[in-house]
Amino acid sequence: MNTRETRTPYDEAPNDVGTLWTMRRLGCQARCALMAWPADWELRVLVDGDTLLSERCPRGAEAFALADKWRSRMLDQGWLQIVPTLWNQAETQQNH
């Protein structure tokens, strides 16, 4: 009897490879995370760390188009996009 657990790549968690955009509304913060799976990408909208939206799609332009669609919809719902500036990035690096 084989007691070793066999895991396929899809059983593992994807890699969070970056944030495509960040927004704020009513004290909440949302970000669109780009997650890398072995064969495709997953987009997630996380609000205060909880997943609000999630969709897997092929690697490439389709993923970025979906992220832009979600961003536009959130802007229409009253979210404000946070755009980092060079000054904010330097301040964050100094505080860590």
DSSP conformation letters of 59-75: SSHHHHHHHHHHHHHHH
Contact 46, 67 (CB under 8 A): no
In a domain, 73, yes or no: yes
In a domain, 2, yes or no: no
Across 47-59, average pLDDT: 95
Q: Closest by alpha carbon to 65, among 39, 41, 36? A: 41
In a domain, 6, yes or no: no
54-81 pLDDT per residue, tens: 999 999 999 999 999 999 999 999 999 9
The neighbour count for residue 63, using CB atoms within 10 Å, is: 20
Across 30-54, average pLDDT: 96
Domain carrying residue 29? 11-94
In a domain, 42, yes or no: yes
Q: How many domains does the chain have?
A: 1
In a domain, 55, yes or no: yes
Global pTM value: 0.74
In a domain, 30, yes or no: yes
Instruction: Read off the pLDDT band of 12 (50, 70, 90).
Output: confident
Contact 18, 32 (CB under 8 A): no
